[in-house]
Chain A
Amino acid sequence: EIVLTQSPATLSLSPGERATLSCRASQSVSSYLAWYQQKPGQAPRLLIYDASNRATGIPARFSGSGSGTDFTLTISSLEPEDFAVYYCQQRTNWPPTFGGGTRVEI
């Protein structure tokens, strides 16, 4: 099973600042990595798939990069609604696995 390690566990930032979240895989996942956002009491929301493709309706301030074992989710300028938990997920090997999450807090 591929283990995804996200860092940092918590990111404390202010609205308007840039957020950089990291996801590292225990073995190569090629570009088969997605990012989800989850707010309290809500289901995860797909942001990025296949490392760098924005899902439908996702604002351009969200971008993803990386391949192999190291990936980054960047939020260029935080909006108040962006404070949430972010998960990465790989689909290279079965079963798909998720990282432990990064909380972006004010």
Chain B
Amino acid sequence: QVQLQESGPGLVKPSETLSLTCTVSGGSISSYYWSWIRQPPGKGLEWIGYIYYSGSTNYNPSLESRVTISVDTSKNQFSLKLTSVTAADTAVYYCARGLNNDAYTNDFWGQGTLVTVSS
């Protein structure tokens, strides 16, 4: 059974960079799409972007200027960097795996990690 686990700081100061890593266990990161999705407290879900194991990426246009997603196949990990954060970036951040060859439908999710942007 594939498992995903997010890790990273739970508190980030405004204007700084949010950095999270997702570690995949129970399966290989190869041959799948991997996504970051976030959910502000009490609100709905927002897609941040995805990366294919080969390194190709696609980002939500609303965040594209601030987002970088990267992959490290040797460690079975992929990562998210979001620059110049504000309070509006406070959210639970999920990493997820694409179903089969589909980048946009996610069958396995991490438990999520709350990131708060505050000084």
Chains A and B form a bound pair:
yes
The stretch among B20-28, B73-81, B98-106 that forms the contact with chain A is: B98-106
**Is A73 on the interface with B (CB-CB < 8 A)?**
no
Q: How far is the CA of A89 from the CA of B99 in the complex (A)?
A: 14
Q: Is the CB of B105 within 8 A of A49?
A: yes
- SS class, residues of chain A in contact with chain B: loop
- SS class, residues of chain B in contact with chain A: loop
- Which residues of chain B (14-47) have a CB below 8 Å from chain A? 44-47
Residues of B in contact, count (CB < 8 Å): 21
- Which residues of chain B (81-119) have a CB below 8 Å from chain A? 94, 96, 99, 102-107, 109-112
- Which residues of chain A (32-58) have a CB below 8 Å from chain B? 32, 34, 42-46, 49-50, 55-56
- Which residues of chain A (83-101) have a CB below 8 Å from chain B? 87, 89, 91, 94-101
Q: Is the CB of B44 within 8 A of A87?
A: yes
Q: How far is the CA of A45 from the CA of B109 in the complex (A)?
A: 8
Using a CB–CB cutoff of 8 Å, the interface residues on chain A facing chain B are 32, 34, 42-46, 49-50, 55-56, 87, 89, 91, 94-101
* 25 chain-A/chain-B pairs, Cβ below 8 angstroms: A43-B94, A43-B109, A43-B110, A43-B111, A44-B106, A44-B109, A45-B109, A46-B99, A46-B105, A46-B107, A49-B99, A49-B105, A89-B45, A89-B104, A91-B102, A91-B103, A91-B105, A95-B60, A95-B62, A96-B47, A96-B104, A97-B47, A98-B45, A100-B44, A101-B44
